[in-house]
Amino acid sequence: MTSLADEARIALDNLADRGAGLFHPTVRLGVAGLSRAGKTVFITSLIHNLLHGGRLPLFEAQSSGRIKRTYLEEQPDDAVPRFQYEEHIRAVLEDRVWPQSTRAISELRLTIEYESASGWSRFFSPGKLSLDIVDYPGEWLLDLPLIDKDYATFSRESIERARLPSRATMAGPYLALLADLDITAPADEQTSGRLSAAFADYLRACRADTTALSTLPPGRFLMPGDLEGSPALTFAPLPVEPNVDYAKGSFAAVHARRYEAYKTVVVKPFFRDHFARLDRQILLVDALQAINAGPEAVRDLETALADILACFRPGRASWMGSLLTRRIDRILVAATKSDHLHRESHQRLENIVRRLVDDAIGRANFSGATTDVVAMAAIRATREASVTDRGQALPVIVGTPIAGEEIAGERFDGETETAVFPGDLPTDVSRVLREGIVPGRGLDPVTFVRFRPPRLERTAEGLTLSLPHIRLDRALEFLIGDKLR
């Protein structure tokens, strides 16, 4: 029933989108990425660079001077809050702090007026393209793969993962509760609450910086929003058998029902209202953090990315597939924060991420969609330099580490600029996947300190220059360049 209604609604939405599109072409750009991957920063920098004519040599429409005007417009969806661009950009430019982690969905429309590249189209009228961009908490993305998964499968996978060596300690309290539980006994709310809380605590522990694990559904357990404490969030994976009818009111039956409710009230609306209407997709990946945390984190990231990519082009037979009347025709996978590396390592980072998503892209049958991989930094917080050590020139990056960050026992105050030797990424990609980067073997972890956003230089006339970036222009050209011809 829900599904039929959903389909009708999507079809209508898409018709409305299309109808409007005839007069006024729009591109709905999905910005996906696990939490902290850099979505909000990417959107903020993209808007700023387009609004202020940033340095974007590889973005042809801009570099050739064909863009006449760029402005923010009222967004098309009344029920979605506006992306707080002004607030985010003020934080970055004036306070030099990064935007807060995102707690809810928001949207913005950016309109570009341009002159067509071909003389014939120019004859008619100047072109106009609206770009609708949606931002949301990265945790929610982890939920999409649940849509086509029943409770028994979700439980089996979650429990297997919780027992992995890297996770078993963090999952200890949850696994101990499971060991004492008779899943066929009548469910009581206290026990259910304890199970669900122990499971959520374990997911939160997995996400800490040092472990940096990625595969952590359900996403709302990490970022509950206004659903905190509701029954749809009060469940946990239990060791249920597939295809068994458990007695009504038993733990197994109650938790299975709540899992289904979670999918219906949380996951499906998110997919329906957002993902089913996208034209283009950028998937941001913070591979450096995973590489620094070790091979387990890298493999975990690989699994999470494969699950996510599969949702971009689901098969027609699935619930998700049945909703899609539009198809994403371009997917860019972007390794973010490459400003933590010296230029020499960018290609290696790109290769590593390409390797991570290659299988998934092959499997997901993206025929008809163009895919690409790029190493990027939406906001470049560092610049490159070299220092001479015993007659040898070493490449370094220079930036202002965030107050409290440490390298080799030295604590930074948030004001002092520092040169950091960024370390090398290995050329052998399979080695990263197998062993990670092992300290003390010539492959030191990429020294990982977080830097403050850059201080913007001013021209002699007092104008602030646009936000520096790495290959944001290449990303833009891939994502919307063809729509501005």
Taking CB under 5 A as the criterion, the residue among 26, 40, 234, 351 binding Mg ion is 40
- Residue 378 interacting entry, from ligand GTP, Mg ion, none, C-beta within 5 to 8 Å by type: ligand GTP
> Is 54 an interacting residue with respect to ligand GTP (CB under 6 A)?
no
- Verify binding: residue 45, Mg ion, rule CB under 5 A: no
Q: How far is the CB of 134 from Mg ion (least distance, A)?
A: 11
What is the size of the binding site for ligand GTP (CB under 6 A)? 23
**Contact call for residues 136 and 170 (beta carbons, < 8 A):** no
Q: CB under 5 A: which stretch of 34-42, 240-248, 306-314, 337-345 binds Mg ion?
A: 34-42
**Token pair recorded at residue 183:** 């899943």
Beta bridge partners of residue 30, listed in sequence order: 134, 281
Question: Burial letters for 108-133: b for 16+ Cβ neighbours within 10 Å, e otherwise?
Answer: bbbbbebbbeeeeeeeeeebebbbbb
Per-residue binder mask for ligand GTP (CB under 6 A), 399-438, x = binder? ----------------------------------------
Give whichever of 39 and 274 is closer to Mg ion, judged by the CB atom: 39
Question: 386 with 329: CB under 8 angstroms?
Answer: no
Q: Is 316 exposed, middle or buried (0-12, 13-18, 19+ CB in 10 A)?
A: exposed
Residue 39, interface with ligand GTP (CB under 6 A)?
A: yes
Counting contacts by CB under 6 A, is residue 38 touching ligand GTP? yes
Amino acid code (one letter) for 181: L
Please tell me whether residue 35 binds Mg ion under the rule CB under 5 A: no
Task: Select from Mg ion, ligand GTP, none the partner in contact with residue 381, using the beta carbon and a kind-dependent cut-off of 5 to 8 Å.
Answer: ligand GTP
One-letter identity of residue 61 = A
Residues 335-374 touching ligand GTP, rule: CB under 6 A, are: 336-337, 339
The DSSP letter of residue 118 is S
User: Of residues 59, 83, 85, 98, which one binds ligand GTP by CB under 6 A?
Assistant: 98
Q: What is the DSSP string of 182-228?
A: -TTSBP-HHHHHHHHHHHHHHHHHHHSTTT-------GGGTS-GGGT
If the CB atoms of residues 90 and 485 are measured against ligand GTP, the closer one turns out to be 90
Judged by CB under 6 A, does residue 301 bind ligand GTP?
A: no
Q: Tokens representing 346?
A: 């960018």
CA-CA distance, 92 to 98, in Å (whole number)? 6
102 interacts with Mg ion by CB under 5 A: yes
Q: If binding is defined by CB under 6 A, does position 6 make contact with ligand GTP?
A: no
CA–CA gap between residue 84 and residue 424 (Å, rounded): 37
Residues of this chain that bind ligand GTP (CB under 6 A)? 33, 35-41, 98-99, 101-102, 137-138, 336-337, 339, 377-379, 381, 450-451
Residues of this chain that bind Mg ion (CB under 5 A)? 39-40, 102
